[in-house]
Chain A
Amino acid sequence: MLKLKNVDIFYGKIHAIKRVSLHVDEGKIVALIGANGAGKSTLLKTISGLHRPEQGAISFGDSDITRMAPEDIVRCGISQVPERAHVFKPMSVEDNLLLGAYHRSSRSAQTSIRHDIDRVYDTFPVLRERKKQLAGTLSGGEQQMLAIGRALMAKPKMLLLDEPSMGLAPIIAREILTMIAHLRQQLGLTVLLVEQNARSALRIADSGYVLETGRILVQGTADDLLANRDVQRAYLGRDAE
């Protein structure tokens, strides 16, 4: 469904992503694992059109999205939950969700948008309780849920998640990852999940890639990666089973 072919990305002279190829099949959860500065966020930003790759091609379904504008990529069906949630802090929870549906907000879509907001509230009941509250005053976990809800409001086919569990208590982090697995089932979503915590990401993923300083180091099914000695040493801690 999503395919990257030999993608190179630069920040000025810094070569952040080096000839990366990867693909995510429809309905799968693929984990992208790597340490700080490996280039995970850079890759997701480029898929969403916030950066232009120097070389290589990115396609989604039948469309070449390599040089599309971010708003057109959202229209194609890719939504991103960015690192640190990036909710619209001075706006209410409900306005954040409404803006998530920006690309499909015509007058005729109003009832379906209302309906989808209710579905997001059903998924994350805490957001319903706080719908009038300013998003910036939510807790970190709640902001993360809001960012996921906002991304879902676009009715995406594919979700890009950039470290959705960053900075959260382990129990909340697990809850969010479980929710992502559940959403995939329920909505038939395709997911590219960026995580530093390899173990919890691979627990819900079908397969994964390990990124190290801009290169794909290993790739394989979730089980293969969990069993891989290099991955164990570098990303699962020495006491890996």
Chain B
Amino acid sequence: MLTVFLQFLFSGLTVGSVYALVGMGFNIIYNATSIINLAQGEFVVIGGLLMWFFLESCKLPFLLAVALTILSAGLVALIMERLTIRPLKTNDLLIMIMVTVAVAIVMRGLLMFKFGKEPYSFAAFTEGDPLVIGGAVIQLQTLWVLGITGTCILALYAFFNLTIAGKAMRACSFDPTAASLVGIPVSRMIMFSFILSAMVGAIGGIAITPISLMEYDKGPMLAVKGFCAAMMGGLGRGRGAVVGGLTIGVLESMTAGYIHSGLKDAVALLILLSILFFRPAGLFGNAAMQRLKGH
């Protein structure tokens, strides 16, 4: 009884970590621009598929493959920002968000063209026997996923709250005019935010692929779950996305295990709807803070 519960819990925490990373990706760009980048899920897919490409197809050493994958994701984001967001010259957020949807569709097409429709995977980072806790089996890769997520979250928290570059990035979304006037290169900051969030997404993709496989069209679902995680915590708030992501992951896993696996994806949407309905500022966000941000 308890064993089964623990099993569901651990698998929920694992997927939940990736939702948290996707949610963080949303937050990063939102923190610099107030844009919601709906191509966020595609960067996770890029992470998984490119990692497979460099590792299994090019036979590169593990760390080099990781580095190349993360850099490539950053490069794709740079091109995306330069080609589609920057030339827009509009302040209409809705238009910019629609553009990210279009980019996501194009990216999915290219990924299918290159990789086809089948799922990909590669070996776990480390070999070894799984841990057994209370009868439940935990793959070592699960620990990697949790550890990597935790590290990313802490690093991003430190970046946005303790470094001047991180604060400057946030300042760009609060007040781009004032940011320019204190000498912050706003458009370069926006570009960095896209690169950073793509890299975080790719890291999530690399970590999760050995457990849950990766295929070209996983992006939209990941984006929905990650967005839900970010909304749950209140957009732009790091801690919130983590708690949101883990909660959604665990609830999904419990629903699939105890009720029916077909209901799994409905969980996130239900949560999203109830948040939008009852607490639009998120469970942790507060409305007063939202007002100061002016949106």
Contact = CB atoms under 8 A, between A and B. Distances in A.
Given A90-B174, A99-B167, A71 B184 contact: yes
B289 A90 contact: yes
B287 to A, nearest CB: 13
B292 A136 contact: yes
B174 A103 contact: no
A74 B178 contact: no
A40 B180 CA distance: 19
A89 B170 CA distance: 11
Contacts of B294: 89
Instruction: Label chain A's interface by main secondary structure.
Output: mixed
Interface residues of B, number: 20
B175 A102 contact: no
Given A89-B294, A136-B292, A70 B178 contact: no
Contacts of B182: 74, 79, 99-100, 102-103, 150-151, 153-154
B86 to A, nearest CB: 14
A91 B183 contact: no
B91 to A, nearest CB: 14
Contact of A103 (B178, B183, B293): B183
B259 interface: no
B181 A95 contact: no
Interface string A19-63: 000000000000000000000000000001110000000000000
A82 B179 CA distance: 11
Given A99-B171, A102-B182, A89 B293 contact: yes
A50 B183 contact: no
A88 interface: yes
B183 A74 contact: yes
B292 A102 contact: no
B177 A91 contact: no
A134 B292 contact: yes
A74 B181 contact: yes
A102 B177 contact: no
Interface string A86-98: 1111110001001
A75 interface: yes
Nearest to B170: A91
B174 A75 contact: no
A105 B180 contact: no
Contacts of B167: 91, 95, 98-99
Contacts of A151: 181-182
B164 interface: yes
Interface in B151-179: 164, 167-168, 170-171, 174-175, 177-179
B109 interface: no
A75 B181 contact: no
A69 interface: yes
Most buried by A among B164, B177, B181, B185: B181
A93 to B, nearest CB: 13
Contacts of A153: 182
Given A89-B174, A90-B289, A91-B171, A71 B185 contact: yes
Given A88-B171, A137-B292, 12 more contacts: A48-B181, A50-B181, A71-B185, A74-B182, A82-B178, A86-B181, A88-B170, A95-B167, A99-B184, A102-B168, A102-B182, A134-B292
Interface of A: 48-50, 69-71, 74-75, 79-80, 82, 86-91, 95, 98-100, 102-103, 105, 134, 136-137, 150-151, 153-154
18 contacts: A69-B185, A70-B180, A82-B178, A87-B175, A88-B174, A88-B178, A88-B179, A89-B174, A89-B293, A89-B294, A90-B174, A90-B292, A91-B174, A95-B167, A98-B164, A99-B164, A100-B182, A102-B168
Interface of B: 164, 167-168, 170-171, 174-175, 177-185, 289, 292-294
